[in-house]
Amino acid sequence: MLYLVVCAAGPAEDIDELVDLLIADGWRVCMIVSPTAALWLDRAALEGKTGYLVRVEWRMPGDPEPHPPADVVLAVPVTFNTVTKWALGINDTLALGILNESLGADLPIFAFPHVKAELAAHPAYAGRVAVLRAAGVVVVDGNVLNPVLGPDRWGLVIEALRSAR
């Protein structure tokens, strides 16, 4: 079971391509998306592909958990905002809550940032990435999600995940 946490960065617009590849690679996929990313996505179509609710909001007390437990977590694309908040333990969205809980559960976590060069140069960014790495998160360097790579960019994500199996 793979939790796919999607944040509001350009590659999110093509996340359905990654979902197809993950399913073809044998993963059952549950999606958790940031509130802004949710506005960009066809959640009904993604729910049809995965068979699971695409979650954006916290569930109400007493409501059943809509997703089975995860074996691995994939954050792609992950933004500057999410990286910095996540490293500080801020839990103000469900997406961050899932990432924070997954760290505490000692699950394998892969993060693929999609961050502008100007934001990556911000003094807080490198330190926050270091905090996540020290906690065991595999943070993939570089601009792997560059749109110039087209659908091939998702193959790099799949290869990283195969190491978790």
Distance from chain centroid for Cα 145: 13
Cβ–Cβ contacts within 10 Å for residue 141, how many?
8
H or E element in which residue 101 lies = helix 94-104
Q: List, for residues 69-117, the tens digit of each pLDDT value.
A: 999 999 999 999 999 999 999 999 999 999 999 999 999 999 999 999 8
Whether residue 30 contacts residue 57, with contact meaning beta carbons closer than 8 Å, is answered with: no
Q: List, for residues 36-55, the tens digit of each pLDDT value.
A: 999 999 999 999 999 999 99
Whether residue 107 contacts residue 71, with contact meaning beta carbons closer than 8 Å, is answered with: yes
What is the reported pLDDT for 148? Answer: 64
Measured CA to CA, the distance from residue 142 to residue 153 in angstroms comes to: 12
What is the reported pLDDT for 150? Answer: 65
Domains recognised in the chain with CATH numbers: 2-162 (3.40.50.1950)
What is the reported pLDDT for 155? Answer: 87
pTM of the predicted protein model: 0.95
